[in-house]
């Protein structure tokens, strides 16, 4: 409940704001439907650690070796399809594709073998949803800032395409939309064209990770959007 409190407070403020304030945040950006396509960049993040163990004759377990994994930073493509559901609120579907490199290091071998490292590329597809909340304060005359939060699922395909792992994700952040050209309602279907920049944190669990913990990576995206 505590995580939803800021969103609820903002919506209540808009609902009960004085007429002048309500007018300032109404319809902050033209059009009711948005299509955005662009590039994304996800930073490096830990993929967990795990020990390989065996059970001894007395029932205790001893370590054979330890492994640690990391997903390298990767660039990809991102597509968004959104719709306005309230004057300051859009909901959207988000899909992305990237190919990060997964590196695993093997250390602490019981036979004192030298540490080794193996790596492979991972095809990563994510599909999810998000809420976009427009803020009443503008940056300059045209730039519209927003907050965003959402989640979804990740499907990861190993390099030889023989094993698929599925995970979950949550993303939190914000950004800004900068309209470049606008049209009146009577002049055509496209109401606005602009540039959108998103930045935030991507929290991933399961998938190719070695543990059940959440792993956080910075995320950045820049896209061209159309408002219809």
The answer to whether the CB of 122 falls within 8 A of the CB of 71 is: yes
Does 24 score more than 50 pLDDT?
no
Rounded Cα gap, residues 190 and 228, in angstroms: 5
Query: What single-letter DSSP state applies at residue 31?
Result: -
For residue 111, what pLDDT is reported?
A: 63
- The neighbouring-strand residues paired with 196 are 177, 223
What was the pLDDT predicted at 15?
47
Confidence tier at 211 by pLDDT (50, 70, 90): confident
Helices and strands in the chain, H and E counts: 2, 12
At 93 the pLDDT is: 97
Q: What CA–CA distance (Å, rounded) separates 155 from 131?
A: 22
Confidence of residue 145 (pLDDT cuts 50, 70, 90): very high
In 28-73, beta strands by DSSP E: 33-42, 45-55, 61-71
The pLDDT score that the predictor gives to residue 2 is 47
Nearest one of 44, 45, 64, 46 to 54, comparing CA atoms: 64
pLDDT band at 64 (very low <50, low <70, confident <90, very high): low
226 three-class SS: strand
Q: What percent of the chain has pLDDT over 90?
A: 44
CA distances from 227 to 34, 144, 166, 185 (A): 4, 14, 33, 11
pLDDT greater than 60 at residue 25? no
Task: Please name which of 67, 85, 165 lies closest in space to residue 124, comparing C-alpha atoms.
Answer: 165
* Predicted local distance difference test score (pLDDT) of residue 62: 61
Among 74-78, 140-144, 159-163, name the most confident range: 74-78
Question: Confidence class of residue 54 from pLDDT cuts 50, 70 and 90?
Answer: low
**Closest by CA position to 194, among listed 164, 161, 162, 222:** 222
Q: Is the pLDDT of residue 5 over 60?
A: no
10 torsion bin: left (phi>0), alpha (psi -120 to 50), beta (else): alpha
User: What are the structural domains of the chain?
Assistant: 30-54+62-227 (2.40.160.20)
Sheet with 101-107: list strands edge to edge.
45-55, 61-71, 101-107, 116-121
Q: How many CB atoms lie within 10 A of CB 115?
A: 11
Of residues 57 and 78, the one with the higher pLDDT is 78
If you average pLDDT over every residue of the chain, what do you get? Answer: 81
Q: Please give the average per-residue pLDDT across 42-58, as a whole number.
A: 74
The structure tokens listed for 208 are 């190719």
**Tens digit of pLDDT for each residue in 153-180?**
999 888 766 678 889 999 999 999 999 9
Q: What pLDDT is stored for residue 190 in this prediction? A: 86
Chain segment 80-91, per-residue pLDDT in tens: 999 999 989 999
């Amino acid at each position: 409940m505590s995580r939803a409190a800021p969103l609820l407070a903002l919506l209540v403020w808009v609902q009960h704001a004085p007429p002048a304030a309500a007018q300032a945040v109404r319809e902050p950006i033209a059009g009711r439907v948005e299509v955005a396509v662009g590039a994304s960049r996800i930073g490096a993040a830990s993929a967990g650690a795990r020990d390989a163990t065996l059970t001894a004759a007395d029932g205790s377990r001893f370590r054979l070796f330890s492994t640690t994994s990391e997903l390298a930073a990767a660039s990809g493509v991102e597509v968004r399809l959104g719709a306005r559901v309230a004057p300051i609120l859009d909901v959207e579907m988000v899909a992305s594709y990237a190919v990060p490199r997964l590196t695993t290091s093997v250390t602490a071998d019981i036979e004192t073998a030298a540490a080794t490292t193996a790596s492979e590329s991972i095809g990563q597809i994510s599909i999810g949803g998000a809420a976009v909340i427009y803020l009443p304060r503008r940056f300059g005359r045209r730039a519209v800032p927003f907050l965003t939060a959402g989640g979804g699922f990740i499907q990861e395909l190993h390099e030889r395409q023989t094993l698929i792992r599925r995970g979950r994700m949550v993303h939190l952040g914000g950004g800004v939309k900068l309209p470049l050209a606008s049209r009146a309602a009577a002049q055509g279907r496209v109401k606005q064209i602009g540039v959108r920049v998103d930045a935030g944190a991507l929290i991933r669990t399961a998938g190719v990770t070695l543990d059940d913990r959440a792993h956080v990576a910075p995320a950045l995206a820049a896209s061209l959007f159309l408002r219809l």
